[in-house]
Amino acid sequence: MISLRHVSTSFPAARGKEPIHAVDDVSLEIPRGSIQGIIGFSGAGKSTLLRNINLLERPTSGEVHVGGVELTALDDEALRRARHQIGMIFQGFNLVNNLTVAQNVELSLKFAGEKDRRVRRRRAAEALEIVDITDKAKVYPAQLSGGQKQRVAIARALATRPEVLLCDEPTSALDPFTTATVLQYLADVNRELGITVVIVTHEMEVIKALADHVAVMESGRVVEQFPARELQREGFAPHTSIGRYLVSDGISVDRDGGARTQAPTPSGDQGRAAESAEPPAPQDPPRGPRRLAASELLAAVPFEGGRR
């Protein structure tokens, strides 16, 4: 379904510096209808690789194929049409604040060239129903919690009926209970609509809950791949030190190094902004009180139809 062939992406150097090789000769096959997790530390190149799939970031070299079409060979107009098959959601939700929830979703259909307003309204209503947020159709994003905003973003991505959903750290700004809710919707979308999901995250617990396949990135390269079910197998150890570190106990890769520990509230659906900080170096694991692992909370929140 998605085939990345020797994809590299470099960014020009600042004066006197070396260019940044954000993605370095990555080849990856993602089967139709699967959930592919991409994990690694900050700066590993995960987001750039994800944005290479819909050419939001055009690779410097290599080929990107989606649904049998080589996107890297298309002209601008053909690429614009092909992109309707690929929805995307982001850590920061990216909703338009001065439009209502329904208008935000309709906007994606407008961009996709749907001229009939009634069709846009109907399809937006359908998409909002998929993520159970129809009751918020007339409110503005500022009136929503983080989890609700992400559900609207999922609806917006689904409105064009894509075959692929790209998720860039979709739960990083959410508390663990809200994370479980959003993951549930992504699992449902994958299972019920057959949408191929690619999810970039620094949280192994998200991968464990959702993914079929895992790719570990370091310094722009995919250094290791394994089936996500391996994560449930006792004694499983990735081959690379970065992979072992990411799956080791206590690693929900809390980027603040455990300095800000916050117990989630069961009411849950209160988005809170994640604070950015450098990740710990692999040889320097996080200190301080361990944040409640998402798995503990996922166990507490029913995850019906969850994949694992």
Ligand X SMILES: Nc1ncnc2c1ncn2[C@@H]1O[C@H](COP(=O)(O)OP(=O)(O)OP(=O)(O)O)[C@@H](O)[C@H]1O
Residues making contact with ligand X (CB under 6 A)? 11, 20, 22, 40, 42-48, 202
Q: What residues are paired with 28 via a beta bridge?
A: 4
| Least Å from the CB of residue 273 to ligand X | 15
**Which residues, 6+ apart, have CB-to-CB distance to 165 below 8 Å?**
86, 87, 88, 89, 154, 157, 158, 186, 189, 190, 195, 196, 197, 198
Minimum CB distance to ligand X smaller for 20 or for 292: 20
Helices (H) and strands (E) in the chain, counts: 9, 10
Minimum CB distance to ligand X smaller for 94 or for 270: 94
Instruction: Read off the amino acid at residue 179.
Output: T
Minimum CB distance to ligand X smaller for 33 or for 92: 92
| Least Å from the CB of residue 51 to ligand X | 8
Instruction: Read off the amino acid at residue 259.
Output: A
| Least Å from the CB of residue 202 to ligand X | 6
Query: What angle do the packed helices 176-193 and 117-130 form, to 10 degrees?
Result: 120
| Least Å from the CB of residue 132 to ligand X | 29
Whether the Cβ atoms of residue 178 and residue 93 lie closer than 8 Å to each other: no
Whether the Cβ atoms of residue 176 and residue 297 lie closer than 8 Å to each other: yes
Strand extents, DSSP E, the chain: 2-11, 20-30, 35-39, 61-66, 69-70, 86-90, 164-168, 196-201, 213-218, 221-227
Minimum CB distance to ligand X smaller for 62 or for 306: 62
Question: Cα(39)–Cα(35) distance, rounded to whole angstroms?
Answer: 13
Minimum CB distance to ligand X smaller for 103 or for 179: 179
DSSP state of 274: P
Whether the Cβ atoms of residue 39 and residue 215 lie closer than 8 Å to each other: yes
Minimum CB distance to ligand X smaller for 11 or for 236: 11
| Least Å from the CB of residue 162 to ligand X | 21
Minimum CB distance to ligand X smaller for 42 or for 267: 42
| Least Å from the CB of residue 126 to ligand X | 32
What percentage of the chain's residues is helix, strand, coil (to nearest 5)? 35, 20, 45
Minimum CB distance to ligand X smaller for 39 or for 158: 39
| Least Å from the CB of residue 37 to ligand X | 13
| Least Å from the CB of residue 294 to ligand X | 17
